[in-house]
Each structure stands twice: as structure tokens, then as C-alpha cells.
Structure 1
Amino acid sequence: MKNNTRTIQTIRQMFDARSIAVVGASADPSKYGFMTLDCIIKGGFQGKIYPVNPKGGEILGLRAYTSLMELPRVPDVAVILVPVQAVPQVIRDAGQKGIPGVVITTAGYREVGRDDLQQELIEIAEKNNVRIIGPNIEGFIYMPGKLNAQFFPVIENQGPFATISQSGSLTNGLAEWADQEKLGITATINLGNQVDICESDFMEFLAQDDAVKAMGLYLEGVKNGRRFLQALQRVTPRKPVVILKSGRSSAGEKSVASHTASLAGAHKVFHAACRQYGATPVDNLQDLYDYGKLLSTMEIPQGNRLLILSSSGGIGVIAVDEAETLGIDGPALPQAFVDEVKALNLSPLGSYTNPIDLAAIWAHEFKEVALAADRHDVADVFLINFGDPIEGGGDMIIELKKQINASIAVSYMGGARDEAVDRPRMNQAGVPVFSTPERAVKAIAAAMEYGRFQRKIGTPATMAPSEIYKDTHSRHEPDTNTPADFLLEPRAVALIEKYNIPYPPHYFGSTLDELTTAAHDMGYPVVLKVVSKDVIHKSDSGGVCVNIKNSQELKTEYEAMTSRIKEAHPHAVIEGMLVCRQADRGVELIVGAMEDPVFGPTLMVGMGGIFAEIMKDTAFRVAPLTPAHAREMLMELKGYPLLTGARGSASCDVDAVVDLIMNLSCLIVENPDIKELDLNPVRVYEKGILALDARIMKN
């Protein structure tokens, strides 16, 4: 990883460019070299523009130079739009000229299987001290410098939202949405193959840009998982980050690999890692834009209370349904507030509960009620639902925003001409406007969640570890051609016990006499398990027998189990048997760890026992963890109420489970050769826990 401070300085020089070269500029309107040069000019760039084309001449009214070496001065950035075989020499020329960074739009590298060309590009750039954005991209737009350095579109409105995307189409689409709504953007950045400057560098750059209030990312993978988490850890306390990652399905994962050759990793782990480090993961493009719009304009709420104020009942009901689904608090209205509103002599058809239905279309009535609600501190966020044309509604909302302490958002539908005029004006004034109440409420919920994250940051027990574990590239890379090595359970148990993970009293033996003596010493009932590298799923093969009450039953089961295993696995080598004291009943969890291909050591917890794979009620975090992370994992489970005394049952020892997860976090970090580890089931009691089975697979 290159020096991060120097990387950000280079990005700053490229984005704040006072001069730019377009290598591959063309007079042919069908060529990208024409489109890019045309966008730079139409975007209003105030600096020097140097078209570069071997034929020289004039393009779009500008003198064209035959090469970078002919330029009269050193540009701050060069955009390269030449065939793949011509790129290396352009990079050499850029280095010789002293150009700090280039934007390579050219495709034809790793995304089409030409790793050799991509590696050559990297080596030439490093040798010539030239930094690269791309290749395989459309470019970037930076509105503070009026620099539209990509094929299209030309963006007109500067605003507080910034986007980073691995897809050129989505780069353009998000920027155009923001532009059309007058929300505007600060920057939109296309990533492509990320051979050098990557999404993490851009996040840290945008975090230092005062014009950016929130950023939205579309990712197909990340260049370096641990570097990405380090960037999130530094960025999210300062600014909201919303992330859409594609590749949830197997087909999507394959498409990602062919698009930008990114390592996608497990989707559920990616989402969990984002939440762990303060980012907001989403599942669709609409949410990416909606959340980014609201987080870049609305003040971050300091609580979870929402007041819904509507012109008609239907949209208010829809909003409150969505709010309840998302766990937002719809507070009851204080009587003093209700009395004050009733004294305003508003429509007798109105309803003065939350949601408030004014049954009116007069802007001043919305304002009077909202001001009263703010005086009584009714809520942290006001959602104003316009379901009809509200004359003067835009002016009223813009003025109201300045007068209240609560945050404010608007949903507007059915507003005809008034809506068409007021929607962009409100967005431009910093009041996010949505076309449906559901979209507004979902975005508000994301802001409330980010507000909770910000309030937790200063609490030592809830902060992310100050030092994120070494990046995945420094860890042992698994050899996919070598069969996995499963530890025999006695060895696995010995390892987890070193990390204070409790396991029942047990004994490993190879003869019936040994096992009988051990069972007598530990006390019946006992459990008998086969120990064999050839029998991974013991229960499925008849390799586990429970509730053995005496030595005769032990003898019978020992002989029967040996026969079952030989029948199911004729070539299996039985190392011996493990006899364990049978554990009491309790709530069952599965707790595990794995080596994620993107983020490295990762923890998982879920409802356990034989239903672990059926219910799939799981939560993930990237190691190392804090105790707060471990507790959050448990609270995410749908089955969490089983641990806290559901339906009158006794509460379980949640603290002991948190300790177990923390100990397992240490184990997986300190043993990088472990590929997978399952403790299934883990029995949780009123006091204490027991791991009843341990399976460890090493690389």
C-alpha cells in the first residue's frame, strides 16, 4: 500500500487541476476522445486544455499536440483514451513530463483475462512515478473545479453528495439523478480495475473535502479488504457512507468477476463488515441514492422519534406503517401540544394523533403545527407528507428548516405543477424530497442508525479496535489445490480450551476398556463420538450416540458405532472414540469463524444445533472484535429472545456468550492457518456455556 497521505495529495492535485491533457482526443464525434474533450469544455473547465493526437492540428477549437512531450507546460492530470497497446508509451511520456497522475479509460486488461497487460501497466507506472485512476473507466467529475473529465454526462449542479462506482453506467446514472433533482454532486468517480488508486483512497480524499456531506458507493468488490475497513474506520465518524455491493447471487458473483475481476467475498459478511465500521449497506440502487440524498442534506437526528404531518390520511398511514416496520418511534403527542394546535382553529376534519392528518392544503397550517411541535420537542425528525398541490409549500419548507431544531424531510406526490416547481427548489435548499412516504421513511431510518453510530463513537467499549488486523494479503494464502486438513476433535478441543472456551469433561481412547474407565470416572450419562479424519459429519454417519447410561450400553454402542462407520465409510481409519460427560439441556447456538477471502478472519454466531443450516439465523463480524460487537451479533438474531427469557423461560448467560465470541476472535486472529471453525452446538445456560462439538479445518 502506497503512502496514504501522498496518495490523497495526488488525488487533490488531479481533481483541483488547473490544466489537463486529453490523450487520444479526436475530431470524430463518435469517438470517446471527442466526447471526453467536449464534456470538459461544456462543463466550464477554466484551466488549460491540451488535446493530444499524433496528427496534431486543431480539435474543437483547441490546438492539438502530437504527444505529451510537446506540451508547453506540465498538466496536473492526463486522461488517456488510446488503444491498449499504446498506453505503456503514454505512461512513460507522462512520467518523463512529470505528470503526477493519469486517468486510463482504456479497457482490455484483467477484466478480459489479460493479467499480463495489467501487470505491465502497474510496473511501468511505478517505474515512472505516475499514479493511475482506472483502467477500464469513463473518468471522473469534480464540480468544485468544474472538471467533467469523462465521456458523459455534463453535470450542471454542484451539491453535497459524492459517488464512487465500479460501473461507468451507474457512475453516470447516480450523477444524473442528483443533477436532475437539483441535489447536485461534489464528485462522481469511476473505479474500474483499480490497479493503483482505489475506493479506499477516494473515500479518505472525499472525507477531507468540506463540500462533501455524504458519499455513496457502488462496489463489485474491494481491492484490499483490510485497507477498506481502515478507510471506513477513519471516514465514517466524520461522514456517512452508503454502500451497494453487487454479486449477491451466484450469477451476480460470476458477472462481477468478469466485469472488473474483483474478489467479491461472501455478501452477508460484506454487509456485516460495513455495519461494524459505521457504513450503511443497502440492497438496491434506489436506496443507495435515497439514503445518500438524505444523509447529505438533512441534519443527522439525535434520536429515534418521528413526527408525521400529512395533508391527507392515506399517505400518513403508509408512512407510519413503514416507520413501525423499521423500528422508528412514533411518539404520542403531548396534551399541551394538542391543545395548542386545536386553538389554531384548523380544519375540523383533521386528526391530531401521530401521524397528524391536517386534512388541508394550506402551507401556513403545516408551518404553524410544525413550529408548535418543535416548541414542545415532539420528535427528532419531522416528515412532511404533501399528498396534494400545496401552493407555496416549497417556500414554507425552506423557511421552516431554518426555524426548527428538528430535522426535516418531505414526501411529495400528487402535487401537479406545484410539486414540479417546488421539489428541485427544496432539494437545492437542503431539504430532501421523496416521491413516496416509504422511501422517505427508509432514508430517515438510515439517518437515525447513523446518528446512533455517531453517538457511540466516543464510548471505549463500543469503538472499533484502534488497530485493524493486518491486511489479508499478509496472511497465509490458502492453496486451493491442497485438500483441507480437518483436525481430529481431541486436537480441536485442546485448542479451544487454550482460549478458555469450555467443553464438557472428556477422554479420547482407542480401546473400549479405556473409554469405560473414563466414563465411570466422569459419571454417566455420557456421549460417545467417533474420531476419524474420514468422518467429518459424525451425526450423519451414525458417529454420535448420546445418553449412554451405563457401561453395558457403552459397550453396545461402541460396537454398533464401529460397525455403522465401517459400513458407511469402508475405507475410513478410526483413530479412536471420544467419550464426554453429557451436558444438560440449554439454548443452542452455533458459533464459528472462517477466513473470508476479502476481509480475512471473520466471526459468525447463529441459532444452532441441527437447525443451523435450515434456519440460517446468523450474524457476522470481522475480527478482531470489541465486546460491543459481540453483543450486537447476538441481538441481531431473530432467536435472541430465547436467550433473554422468552415466554417466561429463564434468561441465559449472555455475558458468557460474549466472552466466548471474544475468545474465539483471539483464536482465529492468532491462528491464521485456520480456514473454518465450527462450535455447534454451543449450549447456553442460566450460568455459563458449553461447546459440545468442535470442528476445525486448516488450510
Structure 2
Amino acid sequence: METEIRPYVIEKLERIFNPKSIAVVGASRHPEKIGYRCLRNLIEGGFEGDIFPVNPNAREIFGIECYSDLSKVPQPVDLALIVLPAEMCEKAIKSCIEKLVNGIAVVSSGFSEVGKKNLEERIANLCRKNKIPLIGPNIIGVLSNTSHCNASFAQSLPYPGHLTFISQSGALGIALIGRTWIDKIGLSKLVSIGNQADVDFAELISYFAEKDEDTHAICLYMEGLPKGKRFVEACKKASKIKPLIALKVGNSEKGSMAVQSHTGSMAGQGAVYKGAFKQAGVIEAIDLGDLFDKALALSLQPPLKGDGVAVITNGGGAGVCATDAAELCNIPLKNPPASLKARMREWIPEFGSTKNPFDITGQALKENYEGTAIDALEHQWVDGAVILYCQVAQTAPQEVADGIYHAVHSYRGPKKPVTVALLGGIKCEEAALWLKERNIPTYPTPERAVSALSALREFGRVSQ
């Protein structure tokens, strides 16, 4: 079993995620078939490279010429997407080897997850022997916003951004795609790795951390690891470069059994993974909501490199919630220096508070938010900020969002992270989406905004 990251895999993953040509081996004319959906998605996703459907029983599909065999394709192939029954995959991979493809993604299921481990090992050994990276089997495919490549049976590419999501669950990946457009969680790549017969978490993490400039943060959904030591070593290096956040599932006895039937992985004990994550510099999420909240902040904001956190709020209750959350997240809310209090008092009425949280009161207008945010960010004591807004009649949510945006983007000093919580109705939701579209992570509660900042603090410590 490989213990080192294989250089040829890192080199060829570039051709998988930024391909110039893709062969769909098992392309179909029948809408109910996965081979039909994968081919259609490549076309509708706007892939600008060459597409080669391979089907011995069709002349053309979607107006694109079909080839009876991969060997008949007249040009080099970067990525071969295999969507055939499991028993036909070994022959297809031999054709890929003869064609000298740069990478293979096997969408097909019916391997180790249903007890056919020997078949899975045979196809993996073929690929390893010939130095062709294999992603899968038992995956939805590979999606890359960078190359407009939806080589999967997912409905669309995700909302574009700089987060890369690596998932052992294909269905979860597909569901996430829909949420990215609603919640404005921007993805650069989405990779379903399924059974990890060949390429695993470690090699993908190494590639995205070291080689892919469009990836700013890496998010993992994990069920089990066949190569734990390699994972830890890869993450130790990667976490110094880019933030890594992971959700490990299958920690209960029944959850572990569900993992075994899903991807054929051995889940292992949660405590073991927790220790491995800590050793490797991986930020651990407690559930899916926490995973995506923190991943959003990690992909949009710089790390928090100190303990000077300023909380700005127009509601005392929201400030108390943030204070409790900060204690739970081990973020010390320190008493600010007199120089900062004096600057903030220019924006805060006498009945407000210049302690931390800074209570700018329910009468706060756009200029109060903008002024306090700028003064906080410009002060050397402040390393990061959490800005809270409770919807009141005095100021509309979008006006507050405008003020926060102008403050954050007019600040020109050392990079400092900002998270925001807008508490209220539909107007707050609309303003939150507007801020997220402008790279400011925004949440519906103080607790989630503070928790997101805690992930940036953790990355700040790991990356030093």
C-alpha cells in the first residue's frame, strides 16, 4: 500500500480538474441512463473542450459524433469518465490504458460496497501499474467551475467561488450543489471520491493545497480512511498553506455499519479521528451546518492571527449571545484599550456601551455601523470583528449591509477577518446574501457568526 504521495498523481490531477478533452465511456441516448445525464451535463455546463461519447451502438448523441471504442477517438483524452456496469469497467480501463488517458473517473457502483472487493482491486492495480490516477468507483463524478466542467450526473455546477469540497457521499454532494445557489456558498471544485480505490483524500488534499490556485479552502466529508498515516502527513503540510475543515461521520455503532454498506469503508472511532485532525491541523466540524458555516468563512476571509476580537452590535441581547458563544469557542472577549473606546464613542451614544461588545444601540444608522467597523479594523488592538444587527425600524438591513461592506472594503491595513450576523426577516436574508456575494460571510445568528470566526482563529494558529 502506498504511503507516500505519488508525484504522477499530483501532476495528472491537473488534467482531470482542468481537462481539454473528456471521453464519456458509456454515453447513452436514453434519458433514464446515467451515461445520458453525464453527457448532457457536460454540454449544458458549458465545457469548452472536446467531448467524445463512446458507445458502440450509436452514431451520434446530442449531435456529437460517437465512437465505438475509445481507441477510435482521434485525439488525446485527458479525462475518461466511465459510466458502465461494474463488470464492464475492467475492459474499459484497459482501453483507457491503451489510449494513454491522463485520468479516469469511474462513476459506476457495484464494487467493494457490495462485497466485490477483488474487482475493485483489479481495476485499481491496473491504473497504478500504468500510472493513471483513478477517482472512484461509486461516485457522482467530477465538477470544476474553473473549467466549466460538470463531468457528473449532478444537476448543475455549484455556485462559483473558492471552496473545494471533497466528499465520500455523492448524494450529499448533489444536495449541496442546490444549497450553494441559495446560500451563496461558492465552490471551485466538487469531487466525489466514493470507495477511494486509488486516489484518496491525501492526494487530493495535496493537489488542491499545493497546485490549485483557485482553491482557497478545502472542505471534507469523511466516512472512513484506508490510509490514515498518509492522510495525516498530507494534512500537516496542506494546513500550513490553506485551511482544511472536515466532518467525520459514522462515529456511532449503527453509523459505522451504514458507512460500511455505503462506500465499503471502515469508519473507525470518532476519538481516533479527532486526535488525527488535531495532529494534522484539520479543523473539525460537529455537523453539516457547522461544516458549511465554517467553510464559508475559511474560503472568504483571512485567518485570525490574534485574540483582539471586537463585537459590534445594535442589540444588547445579541451581544450577550455572542459573548456566550465566544466563551464556548474559547475566544477571549477582552476589555478594549482606552484609545479604542474613545474612537468608538464618536459613534456610540452615552447610553450605549464602549465595552466589548460595543453596543451602538437600536438607534444606530448606516454611518454608525460603518464608522465603528472602520475604527475597529484600523485600531492595532483589533485582530478581527464580529458585527451583529437586529432588525429594527430605525435602519433597514440593506443600509446596514452597505455600511459594513464599505467599511470592510475601504480598510487598507493588515488583513483582518470579519463575520456578520443579521437577525430578522426576509430583508435580513436578502441583505445577508448580498454581503456573501461580496465575500463577507454572513449568518442568521450571533452564535454562528462567532463560531465561524473561531475557525479562522484555529487556522491562524495552525498556519503560523
TM-score by length of 2: 0.93
Q: Which residue, out of 287, 300, 304, partners 1:284?
A: 287
Please say if 1:409 is aligned against 2:412: no
Higher mean alpha-carbon deviation, 304-313 vs 185-194, is at 304-313
- Structure 1 residues 3, 238: closer, same or farther in 2, change over 3 A? closer
- How many angstroms apart in 2 are the aligned matches of 1:435 and 1:75? 46
Please say if 1:356 is aligned against 2:358: yes
Matched with 1:432 is: 441
- How many angstroms apart in 1 are the aligned matches of 2:404 and 2:63? 46
Matched with 1:578 is: none
Matched with 1:116 is: 118
- How many angstroms apart in 1 are the aligned matches of 2:337 and 2:130? 69
Q: Which has the larger radius of gyration?
A: 1
- How many angstroms apart in 2 are the aligned matches of 1:305 and 1:407? 11
What does 1:607-626 correspond to in 2, within 5 Å? none
Structure 2 residue matching 1:144: 3-state secondary structure: coil
Task: Give the Å deviation of 1:133.
Answer: 0.6
For residues 589-611 of structure 1, what are the alpha-carbon distances to aligned partners after superposition, in whole Å with 9 as ceiling and x for unaligned? xxxxxxxxxxxxxxxxxxxxxxx
For residues 93-128 of structure 1, what are the alpha-carbon distances to aligned partners after superposition, in whole Å with 9 as ceiling and x for unaligned? 111111121110111111101122112222333455
- Structure 1 residues 5, 337: closer, same or farther in 2, change over 3 A? same
Matched with 1:319 is: 322
CA contact (8 A) 1:96 1:128 kept: no
Task: Give the Å deviation of 1:445.
Answer: 1.3
For residues 363-395 of structure 1, what are the alpha-carbon distances to aligned partners after superposition, in whole Å with 9 as ceiling and x for unaligned? 211111122223433421111112214233333
Structure 2 residue matching 1:159: 3-state secondary structure: strand
Matched with 2:42 is: 40
Aligned-residue CA RMSD (Å): 1.9
Q: Which residue, out of 232, 235, 238, partners 1:232?
A: 235
Structure 2 residue matching 1:391: 3-state secondary structure: helix
Q: Which residue, out of 91, 94, 97, partners 1:92?
A: 94
Structure 1 residue matching 2:266: 3-state secondary structure: coil
CA contact (8 A) 2:247 2:286 kept: yes
CA contact (8 A) 2:145 2:188 kept: yes
- Structure 1 residues 443, 342: closer, same or farther in 2, change over 3 A? closer
CA contact (8 A) 2:417 2:453 kept: no
- Structure 1 residues 176, 215: closer, same or farther in 2, change over 3 A? farther
What does 1:198-347 correspond to in 2, within 5 Å? 198-208=200-210, 209-344=212-347, 346-347=348-349
Matched with 1:495 is: none
Task: Give the Å deviation of 1:87.
Answer: 1.0
Higher mean alpha-carbon deviation, 375-384 vs 266-275, is at 375-384
Matched with 1:78 is: 80
CA contact (8 A) 1:167 1:192 kept: yes
- How many angstroms apart in 1 are the aligned matches of 2:67 and 2:272? 50
Matched with 1:573 is: none
- How many angstroms apart in 1 are the aligned matches of 2:314 and 2:426? 15
- How many angstroms apart in 1 are the aligned matches of 2:341 and 2:193? 53
CA contact (8 A) 1:361 1:390 kept: no
For residues 455-481 of structure 1, what are the alpha-carbon distances to aligned partners after superposition, in whole Å with 9 as ceiling and x for unaligned? 3xxxxxxxxxxxxxxxxxxxxxxxxxx
Task: Give the Å deviation of 1:329.
Answer: 1.3
Matched with 1:143 is: 145
What does 1:657-668 correspond to in 2, within 5 Å? none
- Structure 1 residues 361, 40: closer, same or farther in 2, change over 3 A? farther
CA contact (8 A) 2:158 2:177 kept: no
Q: For structure 1, which runs of at least 5 residues remain unmatched after alignment?
A: 456-699
Task: Give the Å deviation of 1:298.
Answer: 1.2
Amino acid at match of 1:285: L
Structure 2 residue matching 1:360: 3-state secondary structure: coil
Task: Give the Å deviation of 1:248.
Answer: 1.2
- Structure 1 residues 126, 207: closer, same or farther in 2, change over 3 A? closer
Higher mean alpha-carbon deviation, 293-302 vs 169-178, is at 169-178
- How many angstroms apart in 2 are the aligned matches of 1:5 and 1:237? 20
What does 1:594-609 correspond to in 2, within 5 Å? none
TM-score by length of 1: 0.62
- How many angstroms apart in 1 are the aligned matches of 2:143 and 2:191? 7
- How many angstroms apart in 1 are the aligned matches of 2:398 and 2:434? 14
For residues 468-518 of structure 1, what are the alpha-carbon distances to aligned partners after superposition, in whole Å with 9 as ceiling and x for unaligned? xxxxxxxxxxxxxxxxxxxxxxxxxxxxxxxxxxxxxxxxxxxxxxxxxxx
What does 1:132-171 correspond to in 2, within 5 Å? 132-155=134-157, 157-171=159-173
Amino acid at match of 2:232: L
What does 1:448-463 correspond to in 2, within 5 Å? 448-455=457-464
- How many angstroms apart in 2 are the aligned matches of 1:339 and 1:128? 68
What does 1:485-524 correspond to in 2, within 5 Å? none
Task: Give the Å deviation of 1:349.
Answer: 4.8
- Structure with higher RCO (Cα < 8 A, 6+ apart): 2
- Structure 1 residues 302, 248: closer, same or farther in 2, change over 3 A? same
For residues 311-355 of structure 1, what are the alpha-carbon distances to aligned partners after superposition, in whole Å with 9 as ceiling and x for unaligned? 2222221111111222211121333333333344x5555333221
Task: Give the Å deviation of 1:204.
Answer: 0.5
Structure 2 residue matching 1:160: 3-state secondary structure: strand
CA contact (8 A) 1:139 1:189 kept: yes
CA contact (8 A) 2:80 2:104 kept: yes
Structure 2 residue matching 1:268: 3-state secondary structure: helix
Structure 1 residue matching 2:146: 3-state secondary structure: helix
For residues 565-612 of structure 1, what are the alpha-carbon distances to aligned partners after superposition, in whole Å with 9 as ceiling and x for unaligned? xxxxxxxxxxxxxxxxxxxxxxxxxxxxxxxxxxxxxxxxxxxxxxxx
- Structure 1 residues 441, 267: closer, same or farther in 2, change over 3 A? same
Matched with 2:401 is: 394
Amino acid at match of 1:439: R
Amino acid at match of 1:403: S
CA contact (8 A) 1:23 1:79 kept: yes
Q: For structure 2, which runs of at least 5 residues remain unmatched after alignment?
A: none
- Structure 1 residues 57, 349: closer, same or farther in 2, change over 3 A? farther
